[in-house]
Amino acid sequence: MIRNERSFTTWHDNIDAYEEYFLSKNFPATYLDSTDWTEPQAWLRKKLMGLRSQQSPITTEHEVKEEASIDPKSPFEAIEDRLSEDEKVYEIIKFLNDQINITFSKRLANRIQFLIEASKEEYPDEVAILPESLKNFVSFLQAKPNLKYPDVVLSPSKNIRAQWRTAPNRHFAVEFLPTGDAHFVIFTPDPKHPDKTNRMSGIVSVDSLMPTAQPQGVLSWCS
């Protein structure tokens, strides 16, 4: 068997090189394209993302500990890529109805259902809600279980927009974009001049949303 020409310094290099060779010979080009997510080849995807399982088909029983923190499949990844946008949204609603770590999950599921029906009533031929946006919103709520139930509406682009507002100067609105980013608006009392209102907006990753918003005191009315 002819292997590639790189020189091997450790047995790990040997294995990696063999995997490269094996993949190039045994998988179609689309499988090796990191932008192609049509095939749920979890192990292969992780390898292409630099998250290769240490327990691959070739490297068995090696440094399994390092993998323990990486959940190989999120509940959302289980949703088949072949589903239509609307079907994906219904799958997420089903998931919400089974959730116990979001205290208002059933109320939220009902609200999303209402938004779908209202959106279809006005624009029957359009997608009701972008599933990636809904997914990012639900993931955010799962990571922040202490947040109160927000007002949930749809943006013109059919993204989820959540709003926590108790007064004109206690306003935190977030549009969850399908890209994994969040477009936020905050109106909050100026800590030095409480009669004045600080107003700011921006786009950050959903993961950075609360670290960005928290210093503005949003948790005083959102949680």
Cβ contact 161:154 at 8 Å: yes
**Near another protein by CB under 8 A: residue from 89, 92, 102, 115:** 115
In the complex with another protein, the residue whose CB is nearer, 138 or 164, is 164
In the complex with another protein, the residue whose CB is nearer, 79 or 154, is 154
Q: What is the 3-state secondary structure (H, E, C) of the chain?
A: CCCCCCCCCCHHHHHHHHHHHHHHHHCCHHHHCCCCCCCCCHHHHHHHCCCCCCCCCCCCCCCHHHHCCCCCCCCCCCCCCCCCHHHHHHHHHHHHHHCCCCCCHHHHHHHHHHHHHHHHHHCCCCCCCCHHHHHHHHHHHHHCCCCCCCEEEECCCCCEEEEEEEECCEEEEEEECCCCEEEEEEEEECCCCCCCEEEEEEEEEHHHHHHHHHHHCCHHHHC
In the complex with another protein, the residue whose CB is nearer, 45 or 176, is 176
**Residue 47 sits in the site that holds another protein (CB under 8 A):** no
**Residue 220 sits in the site that holds another protein (CB under 8 A):** no
**Near another protein by CB under 8 A: residue from 5, 61, 71, 122:** 122
Print the binding letters for residues 146-185 with another protein: x by CB under 8 A, - otherwise. Answer: -----x-xxxxx---x-x----x--x-x-x-------xxx
d(CA 34, CA 166): 44
**Near another protein by CB under 8 A: residue from 5, 61, 71, 121:** 121
d(CA 203, CA 16): 38
In the complex with another protein, the residue whose CB is nearer, 37 or 123, is 123
Tell me how many residues contact another protein (CB under 8 A): 28
**Residue 103 sits in the site that holds another protein (CB under 8 A):** no
- Work out how close the CB of 143 gets to another protein at its nearest, in angstroms, rounded to a whole number: 22
**Residue 118 sits in the site that holds another protein (CB under 8 A):** yes
- Work out how close the CB of 138 gets to another protein at its nearest, in angstroms, rounded to a whole number: 18
Kindly list the residues in this chain that would bind another protein in the complex (CB under 8 A): 111, 115, 118-119, 121-123, 151, 153-157, 161, 163, 168, 171, 173, 175, 183-185, 187, 197, 199-201, 203
